[in-house]
Amino acid sequence: MSKKSVGRFVVVAVLAVAGFVGFQVWQSTQSAVPKGIAYGNGRIEAKLVDIAAKEALRVKEILVDEGKLVMPGDVLVRMDTATLESQLAEAKASVAAAEERTAASKSTIVRRESEAELAQTELERTRKLFDKKVNTQEDLDRRTAAAKVTKASLEEANASLRTAQQQVEVAERNMATIQTMIDDAILTSPVRGRVLYRLAETGEVLAAGGKALTLVNLEDVYMEIFLPANQASGLKIGDEARVTVDHIPGKAAAGFVSFVSPEAQFTPKQVETRSERDKLMFRIKVRVPDELVTAYIERIKTGVRGVSYVKVDPNAVWPNWLQDLVAPPKKPEEVSAILKKEPEVDPPSTATSTGEEKSQPVTP
């Protein structure tokens, strides 16, 4: 090969290397995170909700399987209430009996009142005749005693009525308690969520507090990240944020800061590298808006890794690759098309709270 050919080859190689390096530098500037924006690794998370029996009963029917999406108020489990139904019937009979005793006491009071009025009238008549020397002292004493007896009988009847009324109240409360136990035997979903675990089967007897199902609460979907004090100190609830996930590069979801820990802690091993875990950090929760979760609820999965970005400076501007936001689709069939859209610029593959680009952390 001639010297001239070698020179041309060297020139071409140098230009190629320079072009490659220039492209890498340009790409890094395009995907760099501006000052005023902090970020950290995290996972999509949601709270777990246990569906448990309030009373010790047998499982009659489980209406959902694992993976089922449920809404607030949906009936999930029915417990066997045959014993409670018998107790309720007995309680209703007790209420009816107490009401009958109340009615009888009221009738007795009417009779005692009439007897007391008659005894008082006869006493007054006897006293007048005694003053006129017509009746004897014995007649007056007898009428006085009779009036006292009828008055005491009236007071006794009133006491019996109060006792009967209290018995009615106790019986009604007992009936209401049993009815509440029957109502509580129908286990419903308190949240919008997905069945994660089915922990019981039909025919099993659950103790009080025994778990039948575990749900993933999809009403509170968030990502936790950890930031150092100099970044976390300026954050407040409601601050603007962005959430990205590793399997959908180039797409971000608008979020907001829903929690800032009031105390520092060591970062957990599943989030940061060992060197990062040696630092005290503040836990930050970035929540995904409900309307976005609702639109993509069939695709929401906890444990998916990603990166959350938060503005520690309100004047900071989101980079272009964090402005391509996932928005709720107008039609269900648009979901796949939105999530499969190719990104214009690749964001950092994985970020840490220190602002340096790093590869996916490995848990030691």
Contact criterion met (CB below 8 Å) for 76 and 51: yes
- Mean pLDDT score, 257-275: 73
Helix (H, G, I), strand (E, B) or coil at 352: coil
Band of residue 277 on the pLDDT scale cut at 50, 70, 90: low
Across the range 190-197, mean pLDDT stands at 93
Choose the weakest-confidence range: 69-78, 306-315, 317-326: 317-326
- For residue 251, is pLDDT > 80? yes
Lowest mean pLDDT among 86-100, 207-221, 275-289: 275-289
Q: What percent of the chain has pLDDT over 90?
A: 36
Of the pLDDT bands very low, low, confident and very high (cuts 50, 70, 90), residue 266 is: confident
Cβ pair 191, 69 in contact under 8 A? no
Q: What is the mean pLDDT of residues 34-54?
A: 91
Q: Provide the token pair at 296.
A: 């993509």
Three-class secondary structure assignment of 283-320:
EEEEECCHHHHHHCCCCCCCCCEEEEEEECCCCCCCCH
Which 3 state secondary structure label does DSSP give 356? coil
Q: What's the predicted TM-score (pTM) here?
A: 0.66
Most confident of 48-57, 122-131, 227-236: 48-57
Give the side-chain half-sphere CA count within 13 A for 101.
19
The string of pLDDT tens digits covering residues 133-183 is 777 777 777 778 877 888 888 888 888 888 888 989 999 999 999 999 999
Q: How far apart are CA 285 and CA 258, in angstroms?
A: 6
Least confident residue range of 60-64, 98-102, 132-136: 132-136
HEC profile of 118-185: HHHHHHHHHHHHHHCCCCCHHHHHHHHHHHHHHHHHHHHHHHHHHHHHHHHHHHHHHHHHHHHHHHHC
Instruction: Report residue 3's pLDDT band, with 50, 70 and 90 as the boundaries.
Output: low
